[in-house]
Structure 1
Amino acid sequence: MLRFITAGESHGPALTTVIEGLPAGVPIDIELINRDLSRRQKGFGRGGRMLIEQDKVEITSGVRFGQTLGSPVTLVIHNRDWANWQDRMAPAGPPCGQTVSAPRPGHADLTGVLKYDRQDVRDILERASARETAARVAVGALVKQLLAAAGIQIIAHVTNIGGVNAPAVHREFKELQAGVLASELGCLDTNAEAAMKAAILAAKNDGDSLGGIFEVLALGVLPGLGSHVQWDRRLDTKLAAALMSIQAIKGVEIGVGFAYANLPGSKAHDEIYYDVARGYYRQTNNAGGIEGGMSNGEPIVLRAVMKPIPTLMTPLASVDIASKAPIQANTERSDVCAVTAAAVVGEAMAAIVLTEVLLEKFGNDNLADLLSAIRHYRQRLNGI
Structure 2
Amino acid sequence: MIRYFTAGESHGPALSAIVEGLPAGVALVEADINDQLARRQQGYGRGGRMKIETDRAEVLSGVRFGKTIGSPIALVIRNRDWENWTTPMAQFEDHATEVQKITIPRPGHADLTGVIKYGFDDIRPVIDRSSARETAARVAAGSLAKAFLRQLGIQIGSYISTIGPAAESATPASLQALLDAGAESLAAEADKSQVRMLDPEAETAAIAAIDQAKADGDTLGGIVEIYITGVPMGLGSYVQHDRRLDSALAAAIMSIQAIKGVEIGPAFDNARKPGSQVHDELFAGGEKGLRRETNRAGGIEGSMSSGQPIHIRAAMKPISSLVSPLRSFDLATLEAVQSRFERSDTCAVPAAGVVAEAVVAPVIANALLEKIGGDHMAEIKERLEAYREALRMRFGG
Q: TM-score band (shorter)?
A: over 0.9
Structure 1 residue aligned with 2:81: 81
Structure 2 residue aligned with 1:168: 171
Structure 1 residue aligned with 2:103: 101
One-letter amino acid of the structure 2 residue matched with residue 16 of structure 1: S
Structure 1 residue aligned with 2:260: 250
Task: State the 1:72 CA deviation.
Answer: 0.3
One-letter amino acid of the structure 2 residue matched with residue 361 of structure 1: K
Aligned counterparts of 1:201 and 1:347: Cα–Cα separation in 2: 27
Cα shift readout 1:40-60 (whole Å, capped 9, x = no counterpart): 111100000000000001000
Structure 1 residue aligned with 2:155: 153
- Answer yes or no: is 1:67 the counterpart of 2:77: no
Query: How many percent identity over aligned positions?
Result: 53
The 5-angstrom pairing of residues 187-266 of structure 1 reads 187-266=197-276
Task: State the 1:329 CA deviation.
Answer: 1.1
Task: State the 1:175 CA deviation.
Answer: 4.5
Task: State the 1:185 CA deviation.
Answer: 1.0
CA contact (8 A) 1:185 1:193 kept: yes
The 5-angstrom pairing of residues 1-384 of structure 1 reads 1-94=1-94, 95=96, 96-166=98-168, 167-169=170-172, 170=175, 171-172=177-178, 173=182, 175-384=185-394
Task: State the 1:277 CA deviation.
Answer: 2.9
Aligned counterparts of 1:368 and 1:56: Cα–Cα separation in 2: 30
Aligned counterparts of 1:139 and 1:186: Cα–Cα separation in 2: 22
Aligned counterparts of 2:389 and 2:103: Cα–Cα separation in 1: 62
Cα shift readout 1:64-84 (whole Å, capped 9, x = no counterpart): 110000000111111000010
One-letter amino acid of the structure 1 residue matched with residue 340 of structure 2: N
One-letter amino acid of the structure 1 residue matched with residue 50 of structure 2: M
Task: State the 1:276 CA deviation.
Answer: 3.2
One-letter amino acid of the structure 2 residue matched with residue 58 of structure 1: E
Task: State the 1:179 CA deviation.
Answer: 1.4
Q: What SS class does the counterpart of residue 352 from structure 1 fall into?
A: helix
Greater Cα offset, 174-183 or 217-226: 174-183
CA contact (8 A) 1:22 1:364 kept: no
Aligned counterparts of 2:374 and 2:34: Cα–Cα separation in 1: 25
RMSD: 1.0
Cα shift readout 1:155-190 (whole Å, capped 9, x = no counterpart): 011100002112313222364233112111111111
CA contact (8 A) 1:17 1:75 kept: yes
One-letter amino acid of the structure 2 residue matched with residue 221 of structure 1: V
One-letter amino acid of the structure 2 residue matched with residue 164 of structure 1: A
One-letter amino acid of the structure 2 residue matched with residue 56 of structure 1: R
CA contact (8 A) 2:298 2:309 kept: yes
Task: State the 1:93 CA deviation.
Answer: 2.0
One-letter amino acid of the structure 2 residue matched with residue 83 of structure 1: E
CA contact (8 A) 2:253 2:262 kept: yes
Aligned counterparts of 1:207 and 1:97: Cα–Cα separation in 2: 27
Aligned counterparts of 1:220 and 1:104: Cα–Cα separation in 2: 42
Q: What SS class does the counterpart of residue 182 from structure 1 fall into?
A: coil
Aligned length: 384
CA contact (8 A) 1:100 1:330 kept: no
CA contact (8 A) 2:157 2:185 kept: no
One-letter amino acid of the structure 2 residue matched with residue 272 of structure 1: L
Greater Cα offset, 349-358 or 125-134: 349-358
CA contact (8 A) 1:222 1:297 kept: yes
Cα shift readout 1:121-158 (whole Å, capped 9, x = no counterpart): 01111100000000111111121111111100110111
Segments of 4+ moved more than 3 angstroms: none
One-letter amino acid of the structure 2 residue matched with residue 132 of structure 1: E
Aligned counterparts of 1:355 and 1:161: Cα–Cα separation in 2: 30
5+ residue gaps, structure 1, are: none
Task: State the 1:382 CA deviation.
Answer: 1.6
CA contact (8 A) 1:21 1:364 kept: no
